[in-house]
Chains A and B, each alone.
Chain A
Amino acid sequence: MRHLLKSSEFRITLAAIVIFLVFGLRRPDFFTEIIWRGILRAAGDLGLVLLGEAIVITVGEIDLSVASTWALCAYIFLVLANGGVDPMLALVMVLLLGALIGSVNGLLVTKTGAPSFLVTLASMWVIRGILLMISVTTYVYLRVNTFLDSFLQGYFGPVPGVFLWFIVFTAAFTVLLTRTRFGNHVLAVGGNLTVARNIGVRIERTKILCFMLSSLMAALGGIVMIIEYKVMQPTAGMVAVFGAGLEFEAIAVCMMSGIAPRGGRTSFFAIFIATLAYSSFKSGLVLFGLPGYWYLPFTGIMTFILVALHLVGRKKD
């Protein structure tokens, strides 16, 4: 029982239930199909990017460039698909581009010795700069319909497909982290670098792979986004000039889930619940008619509250 009370999964589930109850009791229309479609959709869209960010945090690094990668990959996919490239081929090419960006990030972090927040802060600006340079117009449209529409974004009954993909990927990442050699290495490197090195873990390789996974998931998230909305702005995911975009949401939700901020401990189930809680919180604020300006500060404050919730009664290690 005490073990249960201390687990981050239990605490975040509790927080999610409180959020559901507060919104549900105040606004009975919170528990309607149309609202929950939106919530699940938003959770899926954000969740795919988030899983990658979580694995980078687990290995003890940070990736601030996910939003830029997400937007660039969405744009490249759009250009390829509009240009008549086979959608499956375009998908593979863009995912490879994502992996490439991630490997560059990872190589820079491991080979130069510069901390990852500096490297990815720089690459966030470089990638966004490239995107804004190659895209000329304010809005770009995806003009073709492909089989990917139903494959990635179709509905299974009332449940949006992207949410099911989020469930699938959450399960896959859980297996990856807890049942494979790679996952074991990720936890070792994030938990204690010296020990990991001494038992023979190839630290650089592990870190580079994590950055690749993160950018890969950002690329996938970008493709899913462009298939869903069919239109994007090259500035998408970037509120104002600096920060507070998708990378902010990704990091904030990771922190809400009770992840160890310096790496070594994570629970993808808790992240799954935190994503659900976050996106229902956002939809709830809309239901209450709160002006859009208030989302971000409320999200930030909620982040600190939930981090504090995870700290209650836990010994500092």
Chain B
Amino acid sequence: MRTEAILCVILVAAIVVISVIEPSFYSYETLALITILSAELGLIALGQAFVIASGEIDLSAAAVLSLSLWVYDGFATGLGFSLPLAVIPTLILALCIGFIHGYLSLKMDIPGFIVTFVGMVIWKGILTAITQGEHEGYLGDKSTWFTNFLQGYFGPVPGVFLWFIVFTAAFTVLLTRTRFGNHVLAVGGNLTVARNIGVRIERTKILCFMLSSLMAAVTAVFFFNRQFYVACDVMVEAPLFAICACVIGGCRAGYANILGTALGVLIIIVIQRGTAMAGIPATLYMAVVGLILLIFATIHIKAKGIHWLGGRT
């Protein structure tokens, strides 16, 4: 059976079980919130899927997200840019950060997750040091056309969820129908073969890191246009959850399943909201996510009979 079908069954089963345990779960408010949270985590997970497919991992998403929030707010509030215009410098900065991660990882020959781990500490540390860890609200106009464009409801469905669907479709096309997607899978699958057939490995990997940081910044724009506040510790658990979603979807070096990743995001958020509403402490939930991560990593590997890191080890 296809992975997506199994994940759909798990998702429906999770919703049913949680609704039975906690009847207030099955309400419009909760489900709408789940779609919003899934969309925000999902955008990060889509970028992560490409990084994982290229044989690396990006732990810096939350730090880049917080940094992008402050930059976005800085341009919008401090320099008086309009909200749509402030998006441009925010995305450019995120691309630069992604480039730095990829470049350092390749030039120093350090695994990507160590570089992004150290990078996360640097970006987040600088941000916290400059802002002294404060929160700040946005005082400008909160109902411009741009905000409605990003966050307006389409019937009962939150607009951001529709954007998530659009991005999922776009990333599927990017992965399966373009030269770049082909190269990503080649690099992750077998580095030597990829090099021999002429794939530019450095460029491909750096582009994946840039894509991942870009998606964190895109998430920051959506987040800002919904919450209108900035802080240094927004979605701190995002990298772990995004990785977990990718693993649930079956992503690994040399292979990515974008739809599976999107379903993985939904499963994680449903379980998160469900356990929160059932009064289970957040710390226990962390442990549960860790276990889910382990179980799915094992299942997919055993099912396919391959090594997670592809040809590298």
Contact = CB atoms under 8 A, between A and B. Distances in A.
A117 B308 CA distance: 11
B189 interface: no
Interface in A59-112: 60, 62, 108, 112
Interface in B106-155: 107-111, 113-114, 117-126, 128-129, 132-133
A129 interface: yes
B307 interface: yes
B284 interface: yes
Contact of B110 (A113, A240, A255): A255
B156 interface: no
Nearest to B240: A242
B54 to A, nearest CB: 14
Interface in B176-199: none
B109 A261 contact: yes
A189 B188 CA distance: 22
A316 B247 contact: no
B122 A125 contact: no
A24 interface: no
Contacts of A301: 122
A118 B286 contact: no
A114 B109 contact: no
Contact of A242 (B57, B236, B297, B302): B236
A56 B124 CA distance: 27
B62 interface: yes
Nearest to B130: A293
A17 interface: no
A214 interface: no
A174 interface: no
A132 B282 CA distance: 10
Interface in B157-182: none
B108 A307 contact: yes
B290 A129 contact: yes
B291 A122 contact: yes
B286 A125 contact: yes
A140 to B, nearest CB: 16
Contacts of B12: none
B157 to A, nearest CB: 30
A260 B289 CA distance: 31
Given A114-B297, A293-B133, A125 B240 contact: yes
A293 B121 CA distance: 11
B293 to A, nearest CB: 4
A119 B290 CA distance: 9
B120 A125 contact: no
B283 interface: yes
Given A113-B307, A244-B120, A303-B118, A119 B236 contact: no
Contact of A123 (B126, B290, B309): B290
B96 interface: no
Contact of B283 (A115, A129, A193, A293): A129
B104 interface: yes
B6 interface: no
A129 B117 contact: no
B57 A244 contact: no
Interface string A137-164: 0000000000000000000000000000
B202 interface: no
A297 B122 contact: yes
Contacts of A262: 109, 111
Interface in B251-293: 281, 283-291, 293
A296 B313 contact: no
Given A112-B301, A118-B243, A119-B294, A293 B125 contact: yes
A128 B122 contact: no
Contacts of B110: 255, 261, 307
A193 B297 contact: no
A117 B113 contact: yes
A240 B297 CA distance: 26
A281 interface: no
Nearest to B293: A122
Contact of A241 (B237, B284, B291): B237
A188 to B, nearest CB: 15
A252 B287 contact: no
A288 interface: no
B298 interface: yes
Contact of B308 (A113, A248, A291): A113
Interface of A: 60, 62, 108, 112-115, 117-119, 121-126, 128-130, 132-133, 193, 240-244, 248, 251-252, 255, 261-262, 291, 293-301, 303-304, 307-308, 311, 316
17 contacts: A62-B111, A112-B301, A112-B302, A113-B302, A114-B297, A115-B308, A121-B240, A125-B287, A128-B286, A133-B287, A240-B233, A242-B239, A248-B118, A293-B129, A295-B125, A307-B108, A316-B109
7 tightest Cβ-Cβ pairs between the two chains A and B: A129-B287, A297-B125, A125-B290, A293-B129, A300-B122, A132-B283, A296-B125
Given A126-B290, A128-B286, A132-B281, 9 more contacts: A122-B293, A122-B294, A123-B290, A126-B291, A242-B239, A244-B125, A251-B118, A297-B126, A300-B118
Interface of B: 57, 59, 62, 104, 107-111, 113-114, 117-126, 128-129, 132-133, 233, 236-237, 239-240, 243, 247, 281, 283-291, 293-294, 297-298, 301-302, 306-309, 313
